[in-house]
Structure 1
């Protein structure tokens, strides 16, 4: 059975089995078929990590000579070595040139350019090459290092790329700092001590180029404004770790009694909302910057083990997707508690998820496609799946 354009009908799930454990992941921001490209980063303890670009193989009409019956749903387009594990990868927020720009974080911030291989469109008889030869190339354009710490660069745990002003990137590091970079000039705009301990994640507030927030091992969500960096706002502090025999010794050591917060992300539609979760927790807190200190909603009682990742919907401000160690992927609608979003006096558990999917093992990463929002990518072990909503 084929569709009108001659291709097979779209599947519910497309799968790619990478040659290494997948951790970092991001969809391309293109609105065309290029939007089905995924950037994948490995996370291995040795020094043989990779950054790879893949795309749906059924959309590669211009490369039918690459097709064979045993091909995977995704075709590798380009690959490059990364000495250290990649903690995050992002495509450029808005494509403004013929080539594509990506940024990765690991020991430092690296800027990559993705271009077509010189012989990709060579149709001569002698130009036919093996199936696995990359169709595109990744070349390193820049390494962004803080010159004050040229002798030692503290590992970067995360970063975010400003959509309103794509020249700005903010990074988070285990040395307690956040650094705002001008990616066009390669210069640090400012660096600040953001937390008392390691910083685990950082994100710009959507709709602004000045405001960002961070979370870390000290268990707090802190918000900063580039126009007034002498002040910061503590939006939320996680309750201290309960002193029980089952408490994680690792958690106690790195946090000095606080409950570390691992991730945060601002809502793409309702800019005042953000989500976060704690280490060793099965619950996601929804915060409103207009009502700090107390979550306006909590997503709980469904994940049976730790939450590892989440992503807000790019088109529906009430929906968020979560993934965890229980191999479950949930999509929640927080407006099922709409009255709670305007009441910061007490915590309110959200109703159950509206969609669910079970993978084969623990979900380590997920990404909601911003330009083709019917698709969510999830990563577990060496496997990446693109799920159609």
Structure 2
């Protein structure tokens, strides 16, 4: 991951370097980004613009293995209202379902990617506010891998909404927090967690909607938690980010309120976390110090003198705002900084 760039290296080293990092330059600042998981669409990602105007763009890009170029298909680029806060491809490795992409901004939208006459069509526009055609902007969402008809969204109006996207109906809508909800993550079929400006991580079970479990509250009052990653390989663990903080807090849901470990090697605010899709004890973090760090948490039960160090570090050309670890190709991590998308072999 820490490939060097000495111009005097011979060709074979240059070839090696080229195959570790691929870069795509978008015509705009990238914010939302996600890997496709379908087996028949290797190295495919969606990226979305962050433009301070109503029309924004989403592009679907793919690495051409033969020449090492990441290319955008102009037929699969489409206009999007407002900058998407998140985008996710349907979690369908075996290609059993239509090729769908979801985005969140003012509403949750589900798009269908049509390969025959290449284009992207809006399949559903889902508005969780029954009383109005307007709604509180969506900060994030997560697509349930165990039950792909379910998507959970989080909103600044303090609610989380669970959608059945096949019926295009709301399964459940609940007031999740006292303040804005900034992120949501599934931990299984009927269990999800959320983080909020109220500084808490809460876990919900759809079989008992009246109650939630507070797993963690930030130590200083009014410190918002902005991101949440739930470890898919070991659902006892989750990680959260505190707004404007350089540390990542790792939690064990069996022992609420006390972090198992705090990752403190970033030198500026952390913006993104991603658990390894294939290993229960590895996590990647990225932030405004332009660094993407990979950590081995296998020793997290035991105190480490001076705190844990990352096992891999990569420095990008600017603040890293987005990070995604490919679940179908776990050797690859994607980061977005400024107008660049990079995929890195780890």
Please give the TM-score of this superposition, normalised by the length of structure 1: 0.81
Q: Which runs of 5+ in 2 are unaligned?
A: 1-9
CA gap 1:147/1:284 in 2 versus in 1, 3 angstroms: closer
- Which position in structure 2 is the counterpart of 1:249? none
Choose the corresponding residue for 2:32, options 24, 40, 53: 24
Deviation at 1:29, TM superposition (A): 0.4
What does the per-residue CA deviation read over 1:30-63, in whole Å, with 9 as the maximum and x for residues that have no partner? 234x120001111211122111100013359xxx
- Which position in structure 2 is the counterpart of 1:199? 181
Q: Conserved in 1, the CA contact under 8 Å of 2:129 and 2:135?
A: no
Give the distance between the partners of 2:297 and 2:306, measured in 1 at CA: 10
The answer to whether the aligner puts 1:266 opposite 2:262 as a matched pair is no
CA gap 1:103/1:322 in 2 versus in 1, 3 angstroms: same
Give the distance between the partners of 1:337 and 1:45, measured in 2 at CA: 41
Deviation at 1:265, TM superposition (A): 1.1
CA gap 1:42/1:348 in 2 versus in 1, 3 angstroms: farther
Instruction: Kindly report structure 1 stretches of 4+ aligned residues shifted beyond 2 Å.
Output: 57-60, 95-99, 336-340, 347-350
- Which position in structure 2 is the counterpart of 1:81? 79
Q: Which runs of 5+ in 1 are unaligned?
A: 61-71, 119-135, 241-256, 341-346
Q: Conserved in 2, the CA contact under 8 Å of 1:114 and 1:139?
A: yes
More strand, by proportion: 2
Choose the corresponding residue for 2:218, options 227, 235, 238: 238
Please list, as runs of the form range in 1=range in 2, the aligned pairs for 1:117-136 lying within 5 A after superposition. Answer: 117-118=116-117, 136=118
The answer to whether the aligner puts 1:317 opposite 2:280 as a matched pair is yes
The answer to whether the aligner puts 1:35 opposite 2:42 as a matched pair is yes
- Which position in structure 1 is the counterpart of 2:3? none
Deviation at 1:152, TM superposition (A): 1.8
Choose the corresponding residue for 1:137, options 81, 105, 119: 119
Give the distance between the partners of 2:30 and 2:128, measured in 1 at CA: 28
Q: Using the TM superposition, name which of 216-225 and 23-32 deviates more.
A: 23-32
The answer to whether the aligner puts 1:108 opposite 2:107 as a matched pair is yes
- Which position in structure 1 is the counterpart of 2:340? 383
CA gap 1:218/1:348 in 2 versus in 1, 3 angstroms: farther
- Which position in structure 1 is the counterpart of 2:91? 93
Deviation at 1:338, TM superposition (A): 3.6
Please list, as runs of the form range in 1=range in 2, the aligned pairs for 1:245-260 lying within 5 A after superposition. Answer: 257-260=221-224
Please give the TM-score of this superposition, normalised by the length of structure 2: 0.91
Deviation at 1:117, TM superposition (A): 4.7
- Which position in structure 2 is the counterpart of 1:299? 263
Give the distance between the partners of 1:103 and 1:151, measured in 2 at CA: 20
Q: Conserved in 2, the CA contact under 8 Å of 1:210 and 1:225?
A: yes
- Which position in structure 2 is the counterpart of 1:69? none
- Which position in structure 1 is the counterpart of 2:6? none
CA gap 1:180/1:348 in 2 versus in 1, 3 angstroms: farther
Q: Conserved in 2, the CA contact under 8 Å of 1:52 and 1:76?
A: yes
Q: Conserved in 2, the CA contact under 8 Å of 1:100 and 1:114?
A: yes
Deviation at 1:277, TM superposition (A): 1.1
Q: Conserved in 1, the CA contact under 8 Å of 2:260 and 2:301?
A: no
Deviation at 1:351, TM superposition (A): 1.4
Give the distance between the partners of 1:2 and 1:298, measured in 2 at CA: 42
- Which position in structure 2 is the counterpart of 1:246? none
CA gap 1:30/1:350 in 2 versus in 1, 3 angstroms: farther
What does the per-residue CA deviation read over 1:87-129, in whole Å, with 9 as the maximum and x for residues that have no partner? 00111111544741110000000001111253xxxxxxxxxxx
Give the distance between the partners of 1:193 and 1:98, measured in 2 at CA: 32
More helix, by proportion: 1
Give the distance between the partners of 2:21 and 2:169, measured in 1 at CA: 42
- Which position in structure 1 is the counterpart of 2:141? 159
